[in-house]
Structures are given as C-alpha cells and as structure tokens.
C-alpha cells in the first residue's frame, strides 16, 4: 500500500469520531441504570462508591477525549486515553474479588504513597530550613495519620498490596490492553519524545520530501488518537458490562453489546490497516 493510500485512509478516520461519541453516550446511559448506591446486590459501601464515582469520571474523561479529537488536540487525547484506560482497569480490578479487599487495597496504596511523598517533602524542607514548608509538611503528616486511624480495617495486614499497572491488567484478563492502549498512550503523558523523534527524523529528509512527510505524520497521529479513543470507549463498555454482572443486572448486557458494536468495527478497521503495513 502506497503512502498516498495510507494518508487517504488516515484522513477518512476522522469520520469515526461521531460513532465513537454516540457509543460513549449510550454506554454511559446504560451505566447510569445500575444505580450502585441503591443496588442491594452490591454488598459493600466502598464498592458502591468506587463503581459510582469511577464510572462517572471515566465518562467525563472520554467525553473530553472526543472533544479533543474534534478540536485536533491529539496529544491531549492520547494523554486522557491513558487515564481512561487505567481507570477502567482499576474499577474492573476493584470489583473482581468476592469481598472488598481490592477496594481497600486501593485506599491503602493511596495512604502509603501520600505518607511517603510527604515524608520526602518534610526531609527537603528541613534540609533547606524552609520553616513554612516544614510546618505544612508536618501538618500534612498529621492529616494522613488521621486517615489511617479513622479506617483501621483498610490498613490491616491481610489487605493485599495494590498491584503494578501491568499486574493489574493481567489479573483482570486484559494484559493485551496494557500493551495495546496504556503503554502507547504513555509517551504523550511523560515526554512527547516519540513525536520529537519523528519530527527530527523528518528534518533530515530532502526538502521536497520533508513537508509531505511531516504532514503525513500528523495525519497518522490523528488516526492513532482516534484509534486510542475507540479502544478506551470499548474498554469502558467492557468495564460497564462487568459492573452489570457484579450488580446482577445481566439484562443490560445485550444493550452494551449492541451499543459497542460500531466501535468494535472501527477498531477492526484500524487493526486491519496496521496488518497491511
């Protein structure tokens, strides 16, 4: 397949934004029918809160991803896709256990990270004799300790550690999503080094090729951002489906399958194009 054909296909992918948007709205509409706070099949309050709050926030992120696609803010769409992917994985992991240990593990890890970070801040402030920051850091440590004292069951030694990102995806049977979505989207989050490398490489091309090559790269970047958005909306659909199973609302599963079908078709189209390279 020639570069010209690839460019034409990449540009056609802009037509995928509307069906991705429609799918996201439908899936979130289905998720709202779960009403975790009122669902007696979801036993634990911590589980209800996780489900309700994380689903709401994934929708917020995905809605903004689609807005970024419409405004051609493709790097931002990649960054948000990474967050959406991780939030879906977090929720699927939290609800995957029979009890609420995984949900407690999330908060235990939050406390551990908070305590470690504020200790480092205090050490820095004391070494540099920053009185106001020393005071603020010590106050923060007290607040973090209050959190621990207020929820002793969360900090029991029996609560497992929160897994690494790859371990988490593996444990929910979606390690491919880690390699396929999370890792590729991480570059824009951390450094933009992939973009800088690609642009620098094109600077070395002959002038008659450089302009076309740079333009083609941005067409490909737009296509990739759209592909990522389709993947995270598809992952959101999977997350909502697992929440439905947890809440014993299997009656909603067919609606999810129907709503997600257009996005799954878009993903297949992108995958087939990559296979042809």
From residue 264, alpha-carbon distances to 93, 197, 260, 261 in Å are 23, 31, 6, 5
Please compute the mean of the pLDDT values over residues 225-250 and round it to a whole number: 96
Is the entire prediction scored with pTM above 0.95?
A: no
* Residue of 263, 264, 269, 247 lying closest to 55 (CA atoms): 247
pLDDT of residue 1: 59
pLDDT tens digits for 46-84?
A: 999 999 999 999 999 999 999 999 999 999 999 999 999
pLDDT tens digits for 87-111?
A: 999 999 999 987 899 999 999 999 9
Is residue 16 within 8 Å of 234, Cβ to Cβ?
no
| pLDDT of 2 higher than 80 | no
| pLDDT of 4 higher than 90 | no
- Half-sphere exposure at residue 44, Cβ-oriented, CA atoms within 13 angstroms: 15
Q: Which residues contact 210 (CB under 8 A, 6 or more apart)?
A: 202, 203
Q: 3-class secondary structure for the chain?
A: CCHHHHHHHHHHHHHHHHHHHHHHHHHHHHHHCCCHHHCCCCCCHHHHHHHHHHHHHHHHHHHHHHHHHHCCCHHHHHHHHHHHHHHHHHHHHHCCCCCCHHHHHHHHHHHHHHHHHHHHHHHHHHHCCCHHHHHHHHHHHHHHHHHHHHCHHHHCCCCCCCCCHHHHHHHCCCHHHHHHHHHHHHHHHHCCHHHHHHHHHHHCCCHHHHHHHHHHHHHHHHHHHHHHHHHHHHHHHHHHHHHHHHCCCHHHHHHHHHHHHHHHHHHHHHHHHHHCC
| pLDDT of 195 higher than 80 | yes
Is residue 16 within 8 Å of 264, Cβ to Cβ?
no
| pLDDT of 203 higher than 70 | yes
- pLDDT interval class at 253 (50, 70, 90): very high
pLDDT of residue 277: 54
Token pair listed for 67: 């807005």
Helix pair angle (207-246, 253-275), 10° resolution: 160
pLDDT, the chain, mean: 92
- Half-sphere exposure at residue 216, Cβ-oriented, CA atoms within 13 angstroms: 15
Nearest 5°: the CA angle 56, 62, 64 is: 105
């Amino acid at each position: 397949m020639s570069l010209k054909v690839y460019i034409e296909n990449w540009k056609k992918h802009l037509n995928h934004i509307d069906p991705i948007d429609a799918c996201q709205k439908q899936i979130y509409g289905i998720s709202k029918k779960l009403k975790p706070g009122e669902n007696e099949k979801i036993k634990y309050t911590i589980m209800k809160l996780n489900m309700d709050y994380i689903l709401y926030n994934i929708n917020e992120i995905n809605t903004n991803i689609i807005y970024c696609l419409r405004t051609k803010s493709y790097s931002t769409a990649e960054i948000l896709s990474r967050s959406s992917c991780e939030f879906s994985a977090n929720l699927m992991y939290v609800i995957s256990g029979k009890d609420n240990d995984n949900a407690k593990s999330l908060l235990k890890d939050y406390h551990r990270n908070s305590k470690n970070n504020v200790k480092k801040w205090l050490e820095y402030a004391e070494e540099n004799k920053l009185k106001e920051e020393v005071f603020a850091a010590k106050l923060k440590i007290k607040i973090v300790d209050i959190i621990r004292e207020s929820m002793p069951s969360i900090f029991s030694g029996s609560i497992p550690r929160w897994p690494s990102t790859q371990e988490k995806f593996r444990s929910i049977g979606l390690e491919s999503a880690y390699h396929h979505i999370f890792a590729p989207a991480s570059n824009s989050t951390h450094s933009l080094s992939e973009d800088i490398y690609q642009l620098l490489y094109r600077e070395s091309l002959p002038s008659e090729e450089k302009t076309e090559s740079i333009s083609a790269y941005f067409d490909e970047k737009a296509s990739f951002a759209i592909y990522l958005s389709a993947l995270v909306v598809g992952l959101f659909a999977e997350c909502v489906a697992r929440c439905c199973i947890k809440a014993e609302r299997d009656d909603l599963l067919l609606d999810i399958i129907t709503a997600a079908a257009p996005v799954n078709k878009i993903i297949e189209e992108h995958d087939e194009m990559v296979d042809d390279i």
